[in-house]
């Protein structure tokens, strides 16, 4: 036995109490931001077929969901509208309508549940006929023209009660432009959490179904979202967003990009968030339903992995389910 030199790494793994004592990472309901899809109408929930267990909610039910989230200790919600197709245009101008679906949802939740933080996504894809995050000229997504619209979108969201503005569009210069407009208009306390390292991913499929932009998407998002092969590009994107004034940064998708989360945490002095996206949720849900994996265990393990990788928080469709589990 001398080859062990007395060291047995299995010793602390033998009992639950000793595993608990040396556990390096903790998961808590306060780690989660819960993304919610909203629709027009009242007292209606529409299941999202590719995301079993996730429904699109009317504003009144979104308010009820916010109360539930608050009761379970979830700090914040992220809101995504499924816009009436009649309100979609080439330039996505509905995004800047102070009375659009997401703005009304923000106001309603802010009034009913003021203690919960509200994240508003800045990008044009829920509002454009072509499903892109920006305006198009021919096949090109125009950068500066898009940024101009995004600043107005961010402003109406802040005016409606958004606490956190989250640009997910990946245009160059949008963080600085949004910061300037927010500050000029008296929203200097509004947080910017930028989707800094956002990859052109196949894992967004179910989300696009949920907001109704999947079937309309013309082409792909490779000219603005990042190449999944790249690491250095993520360093540059994060550096740039911080220089432009991002308070927090996000990595997206989550699980396939944990190396990027860890790099961001080690290299930059800002809180890092990960988005466990719709396709990740779908994989775990469908595999669980098929009996291939244990849904609850896989959910908990996947979320713990983000904490281990250095994330301050996680945007996850499992937020309510996991919080309930943790509170039991």
Q: List the x/- string, 283-322, binding to ligand PBG by CB under 6 A.
A: ----------------------------------------
Q: Considering 110, 189, 221, 252, which one is annotated as catalytic?
A: 252
The answer to whether 273 contacts ligand PBG (rule: CB under 6 A) is no
Residue pair 37/210 in contact by the 8 Å Cβ criterion? yes
The answer to whether 94 contacts ligand PBG (rule: CB under 6 A) is no
- Helix and strand counts by DSSP (H, E) for the chain: 11, 12
CB of 74 or CB of 123, closer to ligand PBG: 123
Rounded Cα distance between 316 and 53, Å, is 13
State which of positions 182-241 bind ligand PBG (CB under 6 A): 204, 207-208, 221
Three-state secondary structure call for residue 84: coil
Residue 192 CA, distance from chain mean position: 13
The answer to whether 123 contacts ligand PBG (rule: CB under 6 A) is yes
The answer to whether 118 contacts ligand PBG (rule: CB under 6 A) is no
Please give the residue whose beta carbon sits closest to ligand PBG in the complex: 207
141 sits in which H/E element:
strand 140-141
- Annotated active-site residue 307? The verdict is no
The answer to whether 277 contacts ligand PBG (rule: CB under 6 A) is yes
CB of 146 or CB of 160, closer to ligand PBG: 146
- Annotated active-site residue 252? The verdict is yes
Nearest CA among 235, 234, 217 for reference residue 225: 234
Rounded Cα distance between 22 and 17, Å, is 9
The single residue among 31, 72, 94, 121 that binds ligand PBG, judged by CB under 6 A, is 121
Residue pair 319/34 in contact by the 8 Å Cβ criterion? yes
Where are any strands of DSSP class E within 155-285?
A: 164-167, 191-198, 248-252, 272-276
Phi, psi of 39 (to 5 degrees): -130, 165
State which of positions 2-61 bind ligand PBG (CB under 6 A): none
Q: Which residues are tagged catalytic?
A: 198, 252
Residue numbers at the binding site for ligand PBG (CB under 6 A): 121, 123, 125, 133, 168-169, 204, 207-208, 221, 277-278
């Amino acid at each position: 036995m001398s080859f062990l030199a007395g060291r047995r790494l299995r010793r602390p793994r033998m009992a639950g109490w000793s595993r608990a004592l040396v556990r390096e990472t903790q998961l808590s309901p306060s780690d989660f931001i819960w993304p919610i899809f909203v629709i027009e109408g009242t007292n209606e929930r529409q299941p999202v077929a590719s995301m079993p267990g996730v429904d699109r909610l009317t504003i009144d039910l979104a308010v009820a969901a916010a109360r539930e989230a608050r009761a379970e200790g979830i700090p914040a919600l992220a809101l995504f509208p499924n816009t009436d197709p009649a309100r979609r245009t080439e330039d996505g101008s509905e995004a800047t309508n102070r009375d659009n679906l997401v703005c009304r949802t923000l106001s309603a939740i802010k009034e009913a549940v003021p203690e919960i933080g509200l994240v508003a996504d800045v990008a044009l894809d829920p509002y454009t006929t072509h499903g892109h995050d920006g305006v198009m000229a021919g096949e090109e997504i125009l950068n500066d023209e898009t940024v101009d619209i995004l600043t107005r979108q961010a402003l109406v969201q802040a005016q409606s009660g958004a606490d956190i503005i989250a640009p997910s569009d990946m245009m160059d210069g949008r963080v600085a432009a949004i910061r300037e407009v927010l500050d000029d208009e008296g929203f200097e306390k509004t947080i910017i959490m930028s989707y800094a390292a956002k990859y052109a991913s196949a894992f967004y499929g179910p989300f696009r179904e949920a907001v109704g932009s999947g079937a309309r998407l013309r082409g792909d998002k490779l000219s603005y979202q990042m190449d999944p092969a790249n690491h250095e590009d993520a360093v540059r994107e994060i550096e740039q967003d911080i220089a432009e004034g991002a308070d927090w940064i996000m990595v997206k998708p989550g699980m396939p990009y944990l190396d990027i989360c860890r790099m961001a945490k080690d290299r930059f002095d800002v809180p890092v968030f990960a988005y466990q996206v719709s396709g990740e949720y779908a994989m775990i849900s469908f595999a669980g339903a098929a009996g291939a994996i244990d849904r609850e265990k896989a959910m908990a393990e996947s979320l713990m992995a983000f904490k281990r990788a250095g994330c301050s928080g996680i945007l996850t469709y499992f937020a309510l389910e996991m919080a309930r589990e943790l509170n039991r």
